[in-house]
Structure 1
Amino acid sequence: MKKVLFGCSAPLVLLLVAVVAAFALMVTAGAATETGDALVGELPEAYRAWVLRSAGDCHDPALTPELLAAQLFEESGFRVDVRSPVGAEGPAQFMPGTWATWGRDDDHSGTASPFDIGDAVMAQGRLMCSLLGQTAVPGFADDPRRLALAGYNAGWAAVEASHGVPPYPETQRYVADIMGNLGRFQGNRLEITGYGVGPDAARRAATQLGVPYSYGGGSPAGPSRGHCDGDDGYRDGRCLADATVGWDCSALVQFAYWPARQLPRTAAEQYSATADRPVAQADLRTGDLLFWRHNGGGHVYHVALYVGDGLMISAPKTGDAVRQVPVADLPASDFAGATRP
């Protein structure tokens, strides 16, 4: 049986190479602009360090600072001394029984309190990290972030019973609101401007920032479980792809352009399908495709979408997630070229 090479499958060595001059471009028409620091938008300063620390303590790349920030916004609007009618307390709205399991004195005030910002945000991160770990169960074909949020709101037993986000109106609204507000708190947020197929594809790809990488995962319909094939989809000797709903690099690109441009599935096929429309590095625009192959030869192993200012949206490798990263994160010696679908 012929092995299908999806590309972006083997762990990518992220070399600290100098930024190639050709990618240190001024923003072209329809390109993106960077704004903000680690977190931007409506997150109060008192929460920033704790949100960053809480996300960083979790091994799961799906738990991003913006996800925690959007969840806090939904739970309490960042109010501290708040109690719900059912007894949930503090900015992360912990019930007393749940707090007893997850709450700690993280700010070293002498008391573990759901009303202390540090204690609350760190407990929120621990619980969300645990819930994300439980999403790696066969039969849950949904974004792990949505499932974890549903578990936080309705309890994991309700998620298991429904094999997904429970059909409770409150939980459905809760999940939709948080996912819809991620952009308010996106780190190094890209404001993708311009019109046309390329900028539209880049905007669609940007909606998937933070979704886990899954070798063989994803389609025009959205993220899906991947598979391990003997070589790819593993981390530390353990198959992650078949339990991870997410994207590999070429599926993300296919999704971003669908249906305006119905690109084939693999990185190599996408390169072949668009190679007759090459783009010089000095002429790159938002939505152009970037390709890499080992030492300039062999099969194409990675594809990403250019978004301006030397940045790209990329689904890099097993154990990582869809990210906005510099083009120079990948070896310049492997760059195979750019095309415009």
Structure 2
Amino acid sequence: MFVLTIIGLVGMMLADDDAAATENSDGGGGLRGVPAEFRPWILKAAEECKQPELTPALLAAQLYQESKFKTTRAEATSHAGAQGPAQFIPGTWATWGRDSDGNGETSPWDIGDAVMAQGRMMCSLLKQAKTSGYGGDTRALALAGYNAGWQAVKDARGIPHITETQNYVKIILSTMTRFQGPGLLDVSGSGDGADALRKAATRIGTPYAYGGGGPGGPSTGFCDGNNGYLNGKCSARSTLGFDCSSLVQYAYWPDLKLPRTAAAQYGATSDHAVSRHNLKVGDLLFWSHGGSGSIYHVAIYAGNGNVLQAPRTGRNVDVAPLTSAMPEDDYYGATRP
């Protein structure tokens, strides 16, 4: 039997209004919605800096703005020659780069090396901002220094009048809330179900994107005439995220290669049906408008009467009570992958 404790909520900035799951601090500043491979390094970088302004959410928002957490040379090399997920140019990397992950190589392409170098540089910039005497938010000054160089900040005696830098600062500070809030679900026990839930929980706070996401992580989606729209516009095309079934596929991949859609996932697992009274962590729950051919939603059972899900356009991956995750009358059944 698995025991689940929900560890974190520092701020319900992007969580759903009807989510009634109990959430407390995860000890990491409420970090959410970042890829699993980045999470420990972001938390470590923030912890090692003694400047309280350098929160995990600030580092995460900055990484997202720099590279959208991309790590390949094709996706994370800028026109100016900046490299890796934290976008270091070679000269700056020579100052801040270290072999933080202990693999024998100091590389801006290694996630650990890059994030720790980002943290060291931002920590230093925050110290300079505090002693500079320049007005304004010290975080904004530090971010401007990261983007344009501290000399440009000194010359302007504040944020430089450079459109790219001003937008960079504004976007990061305004998107920090996306990465604040519920942390990981702390799942004890072992097995495919617990492992899948742990993996899916690293994506709490990731936006819903209809048709987006897959085994490799979040991606932009599409609109089909009925789905993917927000306020009359096709939100899915510009939103990097998951829909309900891609989150499930991501959670179980590659140990179990589930098909892409909720209906197909039900078909692939329906020979292991589970009573609602015998649910275990990792079980899949399905909602339908009538019959197996009309299944429209899938979620992962998270224990204690809660599910982890990507609910719908305009919302984010979250934990919600099973009884209110979707209309109760639409609940169709559960399976054990």
Q: Give the match's secondary structure for 2:271.
A: coil
Q: Aligned partners of 2:232 and 2:257: how far apart in 1?
A: 35
Aligned position for 1:337 = 333
Q: Aligned partners of 1:167 and 1:78: how far apart in 2?
A: 19
Change (3 A) 1:78 1:246: same
Alignment equivalent of 1:40, drawn from 16, 22, 25: 25
Conserved? CA contact 1:31–1:199, under 8 Å: no
Q: Give the match's secondary structure for 1:275.
A: helix
Scaled by the length of structure 2, what TM-score is found?
A: 0.57
Alignment equivalent of 1:305, drawn from 300, 308, 324: 300
In structure 1, the gaps of 5 or more residues are 1-28, 56-60, 81-89, 94-120, 136-141, 148-156, 179-184
In structure 2, the gaps of 5 or more residues are 11-23, 71-76, 98-107, 118-179
Scaled by the length of structure 1, what TM-score is found?
A: 0.56
Q: Aligned partners of 1:321 and 1:159: how far apart in 2?
A: 32
Alignment equivalent of 1:272, drawn from 267, 276, 281: 267
Q: Aligned partners of 2:284 and 2:217: how far apart in 1?
A: 19
State how 1:40-59 maps to structure 2 within 5 Å.
Answer: 40-42=25-27
Q: Give the match's secondary structure for 1:201.
A: helix
Q: Aligned partners of 1:300 and 1:160: how far apart in 2?
A: 48
Q: Aligned partners of 2:49 and 2:88: how far apart in 1?
A: 27
Aligned position for 1:91 = 53
Residues paired across the two proteins, number:
234
Q: Give the match's secondary structure for 2:208.
A: coil
AA of the residue aligned to 1:91? E
Conserved? CA contact 2:184–2:204, under 8 Å: no
Q: Whose relative contact order is higher, 1 or 2, with alpha carbons under 8 Å and at least 6 apart?
A: 1
Q: Residues 29-79 of structure 1: CA distance to partner in whole angstroms, max 9, x if unpaired?
A: 024123466441446xxxx8xx9xxx9xxxxx969xxx9xx9797457574
Across the aligned residues of Structure 1 and Structure 2, the Cα RMSD in angstroms comes to 4.1
Change (3 A) 1:297 1:238: same
Change (3 A) 1:62 1:193: closer
Q: Aligned partners of 1:265 and 1:76: how far apart in 2?
A: 38
Q: Aligned partners of 1:315 and 1:79: how far apart in 2?
A: 35
Runs (4 or more) in structure 1 with deviation over 3 Å come to 35-39, 70-80, 157-165, 167-178, 295-298
* 1:217 partnered with 2:212: yes
Q: Aligned partners of 1:174 and 1:235: how far apart in 2?
A: 38
AA of the residue aligned to 2:197? A
Change (3 A) 1:164 1:294: farther
Aligned position for 1:197 = 192
Conserved? CA contact 1:296–1:333, under 8 Å: no
Change (3 A) 1:215 1:40: same
Q: Residues 174-196 of structure 1: CA distance to partner in whole angstroms, max 9, x if unpaired?
A: 87469xxxxxx863752111111
Overall identity of the aligned pairs, in %? 39
Aligned position for 1:7 = none
Q: Residues 273-330 of structure 1: CA distance to partner in whole angstroms, max 9, x if unpaired?
A: 1112110111100100000113668611110100100111101111221112221222
Alignment equivalent of 1:283, drawn from 278, 285, 294: 278
In the TM superposition, residue 242 of structure 1 has moved relative to its aligned partner by 1.2
Q: Give the match's secondary structure for 1:320.
A: coil
Conserved? CA contact 1:32–1:307, under 8 Å: yes
Change (3 A) 1:194 1:160: farther
State how 1:154-173 maps to structure 2 within 5 Å.
Answer: 165=85, 166=87, 173=112
Change (3 A) 1:174 1:214: farther
Change (3 A) 1:42 1:277: closer
Q: Give the match's secondary structure for 2:5.
A: strand
Q: Give the match's secondary structure for 2:333.
A: strand
Aligned position for 2:136 = none
